[in-house]
């Protein structure tokens, strides 16, 4: 019954459904293989955050992207 | 001054305002009755998550819904 | 499959097991009654926070308690 | 490498980009000055929450605002 | 710069350091492979939760374990 | 009524009470000055995370510290 929350920036229209499936399956499998956790009750929530609302290194990701980072 | 975060999937247009009120009142009352916490400073935040961003059992809720679950 | 996180201060030795059960049952029932959510997959996590690590009104709860609040 | 999450209500169109920058810089500086944390790896995420989804004092912020609070 | 939070119950003394390393590496790799996210700034925080503080199916994990679940 | 959560590693015995006060006051003031948020209902929770449970760059902070980072 683990709970996992993944926060990533929302860029170029956001994650595709296939990418979300890959993340959910990948994390669920990792927890089953590493800790023997039951995949049936593993919850994974993906938050896509606007680049204006995500800061790293004292600046917004929006501005890092403009600088090519 | 408890803090409560409720995450549910956003389905069929999302929760109504009345449903949100019921959740906020219900959780606040529960904390007052159980732990004598002050309702005036109890914070409740409701996150409505797209079914594509919510995984359970290694699959997206979107796909569980299609299978009738 | 809702996910709920409750954060309360840890005071006088922390919550009893009975209090934790009351919170878990209460929140799970509230979500079933209000939104028809499946109780079998509803997750509730209770975080008990040291009063030195919980701030309200620009001061630590530890100091509010000393002032009788 | 601290991680900070700020949740505020989304009112009057939401925060401006300049306000978000001020928050990100301010929190990052505070952590560097207080705890000597490396600003380069400090993450700050700002969540703007609809006033219907934010409860305080057993009521929604939407309704507090209508009462002038 | 993704942020990932993994919450699991703390059982039998908690996760080993090797298990924590496996989770951190596994999730960081998954985000790099799936979304091309920079591993250098990917943050993963693991919360080990007491079984008395983790509820599923309207009961505490402590009590589910006693029933053999 | 903003809610802020700060997660930092727990090193050398953890934060002092004075450091926690500085963080709580600093963040609360920042939100009042930047967004005119009411300090009386601003909640700040500080989580001190074991260096074994905090990963950055696909490794545990414990191991980064050993390498002098």
Which tens digit of pLDDT belongs to each residue from D42-65? 999 999 999 999 999 999 999 999
Q: What is the pLDDT of residues B25-53, one digit of tens each?
A: 999 999 999 999 999 999 999 999 999 99
CA neighbor of C15 nearest in space, from B35, E54, B3: B35
State the Cα–Cα distance between residues C51 and F45, nearest whole angstrom. Answer: 10
> Which CA distances in Å does E34 have to A25, B69, E27, F40?
11, 27, 10, 43
Q: What is the percent of chain C with per-residue pLDDT over 70, rounded to a whole number?
A: 100
Domain of E16, CATH number, reads 3.30.429.10
Name the DSSP letter for residue B14: -
| pLDDT tens, residue order, chain A (69 aa) | 899 999 999 998 899 999 999 999 999 999 999 999 999 999 999 999 999 999 999 999 999 999 988
Residues E4, A9: C-beta atoms closer than 8 Å: no
Collect all residues of chain B within an 8 Å Cβ-Cβ radius of residue C15.
35
CA–centroid distance for A2 within its chain: 16
- pLDDT at residue E1 in the model: 82
ipTM > 0.90 for the complex: yes
Chain B: give the shortest CA distance to residue D17, in Å. 23
**Do F45 and C53 contact (CB within 8 A), yes or no?**
yes
* Whether the predicted pLDDT of F69 surpasses 90: no
Chain E residues contacting F, CB < 8 Å?
A: 17, 20-21, 23-25, 27-29, 39-48
d(CA B27, CA B39): 10
Return the pLDDT at E25.
98
Alpha-helical segments (H) within D1-69: 17-35, 61-66
In the sheet that holds B43-50, the strands lie side by side as D59-60, D54-56, B43-50, B3-10, C3-10, C43-50, E54-56, E59-60
Number of domains in chain B: 1
How many angstroms away from the CA of E43 is the closest CA of chain F? 5
State which residues form the domain around F49: 3-66
Q: What is the pLDDT of residue E68?
A: 85
Q: Are F24 and F32 in contact (CB under 8 A)?
A: no
Is B39 a catalytic site residue? no
Kind of pairing between the strands at F59-60 and F54-56:
antiparallel
pLDDT value, residue D68: 85
C-alpha distance from residue B12 to each of A44, B24, C46 (Å) = 21, 21, 29
- Dihedral sign, Cα of residue F53, residue F57, residue F58, residue F64: negative
Q: Say whether E67 sits in a helix, a strand or coil.
A: coil
Asked if the model's pLDDT at residue F50 lies above 90, the reply is yes
The answer to whether F and A touch (≥3 CB pairs < 8 Å) is no
D31 contacts in chain F (CB < 8 Å): 6, 8, 23
Q: Is C61 helix (H, G, I), strand (E, B) or coil?
A: helix
What's the rounded Cα separation, in Å, for the pair A6 and E32?
A: 13
């Amino acid at each position: 019954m683990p709970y996992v929350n993944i926060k990533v920036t929302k860029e170029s229209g956001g994650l595709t459904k296939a990418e979300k499936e890959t993340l959910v399956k990948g994390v669920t499998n990792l927890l089953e293989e590493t800790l023997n956790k039951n995949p049936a009750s593993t919850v994974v929530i993906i938050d896509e955050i606007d680049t204006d609302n995500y800061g790293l290194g004292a600046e917004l990701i929006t501005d890092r992207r403009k600088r090519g980072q």
